[in-house]
Amino acid sequence: MTIIQAVLLGILQGATEFIPVSSSGHLVLIPWLLGWESPGLTLTVAVHAGTALAVLLYFWRDWLDMAQGALNWLRTRDSGTPAFRLLLLILLGSLPAAVVGGLFEDFFASVFERPLIAALMLMVTAAILIVGERLGGLTRQVGDLTWADSLFIGFAQALAIFPGVSRSGATIAAGRLRDMKRADAARFSFLLATPVIVGAGLLQLVKLIGAGVGSSETLMLLAGFVAALLTGYLVIRWLLHFLRTRSTLVFAVYCVLASAFSLAIFVIRGG
**Percentage above 70 pLDDT, the chain:** 89
- In tens, the pLDDT along 173-189 reads 999 999 999 999 999 99
What's the pLDDT band for 212 if we cut at 50, 70, 90?
A: low
Q: Say what the pTM is.
A: 0.89
Distance CA 163, CA 117 (A): 7
212: left (phi over 0), alpha (psi -120 to 50) or beta: left
Provide the pLDDT for residue 29: 87
- In tens, the pLDDT along 255-266 reads 999 999 999 998
Provide the pLDDT for residue 245: 92
Average pLDDT over residues 137-153: 94
Provide the pLDDT for residue 112: 60
**Percentage above 90 pLDDT, the chain:** 55
40: pLDDT strictly greater than 80: no
